[in-house]
A and B are shown apart, each in its own frame.
Chain A
């Protein structure tokens, strides 16, 4: 019998992450972060990772206010970051140090463009014309075109190998709901990754979640682990 979606541990759910993978990490200011999966990914030790995330400053009182992916970077597992704001200015920590020393590449994207590029990747869209980057450094040499509403810039889709998300509850089919600010990037990231792994404090049987309330249908969630 094929294994269901529920894995015995975060580490088991990450066992096939190859070196060089691209990984989406959800989270905003510490809300909706898959901490167990991030810890386990350090243990798994896959290298040369590209990580796409928008963590934002962690809430007051959580210590150093370092981004959730700090451990991955400190352990030398990350080659490249794609983020609108990879660290809180003044609290750059290992991310800033490694970037300054040339050991870490960082690509900066405005967050609305990043999230729409991920949605395009997840929804099978080949590219979107957005007005956001017009006239800014983010326009670069991208194609600019005029439409009835005005000029817009072609933004290409982004996809990833894995998405590590935190959900408030999931049923064993992967149908997931979120809690407040924990929603943030997760529903989009879940669509944009080949394998989405959801960490949750509550795993329930199919039928227990209100079908009208499900935000991420199980088709977008491949693996489920209990938060450790």
Chain B
């Protein structure tokens, strides 16, 4: 038989499946080796459940940016510039929330329908301990399976039938072995590439499932050059260009607490000037700073959501504080509500934060005790769990999220300042497009990776608030 590919050659073939700008979660074993072959400076964010986001092997020649880190196999790694440190819950939320483009896993076995059994599951008979495998298989948009084509006894690792201990169902998109690249398609397995010297017949003979042959069967010869292409930049020249595609009827999250601080005023003003209508706004208040002018200089008005309401752009608010604290100075939204021009869904503040987190973290719904026995509970499922009553609340997602950061690097990693952090950490992951207004944009590597609150994977666009911009008008 011709020679099989070695592990690094397999890793190179797996890496060639990736695209610049992607977030890629690596499992242990063969997948961990993808980090070794990924071009050190390619704009590829590798993620490990050890808490390393944006890492490379410690041997990659990067300046060791940041702290003591390990990869998925317990081998020390270094953060690339623009990398950050996350916890296990963040890792899980990235996967479950649909933020991970590709997961690379090493199954012991894969089936014709794309089911997989992780290597640790197979190696712990009776216990069937999957470690991270179930999360990787269920969460990523694309799953690459890397494994030897056959076991040490020559028996096939690619099988026709599934097993009750499968760690993932119909999840594998492509199988990379030491002799072949096989696509998992609806109609079954398709041999796309073979290792040098191997034929379709050779591979089919070692495969335990029916295997068709691609019309353009190729030899495995990966190139990683395309990985170095820079993805589109995140820094926009100004707020109008960053919000231009917000269309009528969009759902928009807006950060902020109560007063005028911690709000993306520059983006808000641009959204008003753009005139987009029929908006659903998800926010803590729906504009109360302007009605009472907390801390506002004399003769000025605070900029907040009210400017959108006054301009007739808001159809609905999902908010915790829709009314002014002053009876004599009602907010614009209150007045519009009394005129029956806007709808309101009232959400307690803590429930709002939790619904936002759920939306971004792939939690479809949750039971919370907040609001039990109040008007908030009306129309919602109530349930007693372990002797305590809860109501069911669903995750919230939006088309856009407009938030106020302090500093960001060009990869979108953001730090906040003081109470301007407020809802940002839970909003940023919950929108399709997240736009952050900051005071300053710096180069990757200039923010302390331990201090990054919102990793760049959650941020799509950045705008610098002009120095002479005033949050009052």
Contact = CB atoms under 8 A, between A and B. Distances in A.
Nearest to B167: A136
A134 B124 CA distance: 22
Given A85-B130, A99-B127, A185-B88, A128 B69 contact: no
Interface in A129-185: 129-138, 145, 147-150, 152, 156, 177-185
Given A54-B88, A116-B89, A134-B138, A108 B127 contact: yes
Contacts of A106: 127
Given A136-B166, A181-B69, A183-B86, A111 B50 contact: no
Interface stretch (B222-230, B288-296, B298-306, B359-367): B359-367
A31 interface: yes
Interface stretch (B175-183, B327-335, B382-390): B382-390
Interface in A206-226: 210, 212-213, 215
B49 A212 contact: no
A130 B138 CA distance: 11
B87 interface: yes
B160 interface: no
Contact of B130 (A110, A120, A130, A135): A110
B217 interface: no
Interface residues of A, number: 67
- The interface centre, meaning the residue of A86, A108, A145 with most chain B CB atoms within 10 A of its CB, is A108
Contact of B132 (A111, A148, A178, A179): A111
Contacts of A215: 87
- The interface centre, meaning the residue of B70, B88, B138, B364 with most chain A CB atoms within 10 A of its CB, is B88
A42 interface: no
A60 interface: yes
B363 to A, nearest CB: 5
Given A92-B124, A184-B87, 8 more contacts: A31-B69, A120-B366, A131-B364, A138-B134, A147-B394, A180-B70, A181-B51, A184-B50
Going nearest first, the 4 A-B pairs with the smallest beta carbon separation are A126-B367, A89-B123, A112-B92, A180-B67
Interface of B: 28, 49-52, 66-70, 73-76, 85-89, 91-92, 95-96, 119-120, 123-124, 127-135, 138-139, 164-169, 354, 358, 361-369, 383, 385-386, 388, 390, 394-395, 415-418, 448, 450-451
